[in-house]
Structure formats: structure tokens, C-alpha cells
Amino acid sequence: MGHDTCIEFQDVVAGYKDFMILNNLNLKIQRNAITLLIGPNGAGKSTVLKTLFGLLKPRQGKVLFDGQDISGATQKELLAKGIAFVPQGRNLFGQLTVWQNLELGGITLGTKTTHERIPEVLEFFPRVKERINSQASALSGGEQKQLEIGRALLLRPKVLLIDEPSIGLSPIVVQDVFKLLRKLVDQGTTVLMVEQNVKSALKVSDDAVALESGRCVLHKPASELLADPNIERLFLGGHVAKASI
């Protein structure tokens, strides 16, 4: 099977203070695809994204991007290489306008490039575009998430890391966000997404990775997992099941 690896975790150990969360994680993320990261609360899903984005430094092992070791690189270096991160929750400057939030997102690009790219990015988000002069905090939850994604897209990332984008959004808006991710992949982006909304996320994803205690316990095509009659029992237990129906 010919697959092209974009990101690779090699035996990565990472955590907080003395408490290790990723325990010799080995994982290959396919280029130009959506990889969905699932697993119980506390499994280390967000920690995987934070390690990739330089918020945590591996204690052991390596993280490779395009075959290059990026373990310990700074966020600035990672952004310059084309890795962008949309964290969980709300991450806008609520008092500032939509336009100002976008301008700040392009701070590493310089004003000229930023101003050229803002209209391009806004083409993806007509609702946000209409509200360009509104205070960010006045947008709906869905529009705010779209603005956050737009801010990340200003950098024309090769890799987009996105943590639980569906939280607080209506099912229709979630579908819009998923469709947008699909479009980005069609244009050459690689997406690594954490999502509790497992069933609908699997439908837009190419690959599924399940983590448990900081280890990869499953890695297969999303379509295969979706067709697995045991999926409910395996991954949709407890509150995850409720959230995904």
C-alpha cells in the first residue's frame, strides 16, 4: 500500500512535570488526508497535538515532519514550516473585531501579505465576511470557530491541527466545519483532528487512530471503523455516545 507519511511519532514519551502522558507513542500520519484521533478522556489526544505544536517537548523519541526532526522546535519555527494549531475552546480576542483578529493571525506574514490573504480566507466563510467589522465576541459560536480556522488558514498551513472543533456548535455548523476540512484536504492540506463526535467525524475522515493511555491501540481507514459492528461498544460508550447521536 503506497502511503506518504507527513508526520511521524517515533517512540515519543511526553507529559507534564513527572507525569508522562504519551508512553512510547508510535504513529504515522498520512499526507493529504484527514486523520481522526479518538479515545477516552485523558488518553492523551490533546497532548499529541500540543507535542506536535511545540507546547510540550518530548522527553524521549522524535517527532518528524517531512522526515525532519521537529522535536523541540519553537512555535515560531513550526508555524514557518507550515504547521498551524486551532486549540479546543474559544481562542479569539473577543473585544477586537473580526478584521483585527485576522490581522493578528497574520502577524508573522507582514501587513501587505496579510491584507492580500484576508479576503481569500473570507471566501470560505461568507457569514464571517459579512461581519468583518463586528466584535468577535458578538459572533455565534460557529462563526467564532470559523474565524479561528480562518485565522490559521492565513498562514496557508501544510498541516492543520484541530482539537474538538464541534464543541458548542450546532450539528449543521459542525457539518460545515467538517466540509471545509475536506475542501482543505482536497487542496493539499493534511489535517489531524481530535473529535468526540466520533460517528460524524469518521464520515469525513480518511484514517482513524485510537489512543489509550498515550499509546496507539488502533489505526485503520475511517470507513473500515465506521463499518465495524463493534464500533458502538468500542468507542461510543458513555457520554461520547450521547454526544454523537
Ligand X SMILES: Nc1ncnc2c1ncn2[C@@H]1O[C@H](COP(=O)(O)OP(=O)(O)O)[C@@H](O)[C@H]1O
Task: Give the footprint of ligand X on this chain (CB under 6 A).
Answer: 16, 21, 39, 41-47
Strand 60-65 versus strand 5-16 pairing type = antiparallel
Q: How far is the CB of 181 from ligand X (least distance, A)?
A: 19
Smaller CB distance to ligand X: residue 16 or 93? 16
| CB 52 to Mg ion: min, Å | 13
Question: Position 159: which residue type?
Answer: V
| For ligand X, the closer CB: 128 or 198 | 198
Give min distance, CB of 64 to ligand X, in A.
Answer: 20
- Judged by beta carbon, residue 150 or residue 214, the one nearer ligand X is 214
Based on the shown chain and the rule CB under 5 A, indicate whether residue 51 belongs to the binding site for Mg ion. Answer: no
Rounded to an integer, what distance in angstroms lies between the CA atom of residue 115 and that of residue 101? 12
Q: With respect to ligand X, which residue has the nearer C-beta, 132 or 167?
A: 167
Minimum distance, C-beta of residue 43 to ligand X, in the bound complex (Å)? 4
Instruction: Tell me which residue has its CB nearest to Mg ion.
Output: 46
Instruction: Locate the DSSP E strands across the chain.
Output: 5-16, 19-30, 34-38, 60-65, 68-69, 83-86, 159-163, 190-194, 207-212, 215-221
Q: Which does 43 bind (CB under 5 to 8 A by kind): ligand X, Mg ion, none?
A: ligand X
Q: What angle do CA 235, 240, 243 make, to 5 degrees?
A: 135
Q: Which of 21, 29, 46, 143 binds Mg ion (CB under 5 A)?
A: 46
Answer with the entry of Mg ion, ligand X, none that 16 interacts with (C-beta below 5 to 8 A by kind): ligand X
Q: What is the DSSP string of 149-177?
A: HHHHHTT--SEEEEE-TTTT--HHHHHHH
Q: Residues with Cβ < 8 Å from 78, sequence gap 6 or more?
A: 52, 53, 54, 70
Q: With CB under 5 A as the contact rule, which of the stretches 45-53, 109-117, 176-184, 213-221 interacts with Mg ion?
A: 45-53
Output 46 or 114, the one with its CB closest to Mg ion. Answer: 46
CA-to-CA dists, residue 107 to 2, 88, 119, angstroms: 38, 22, 16
For Mg ion (CB under 5 A), the number of binding residues is 2
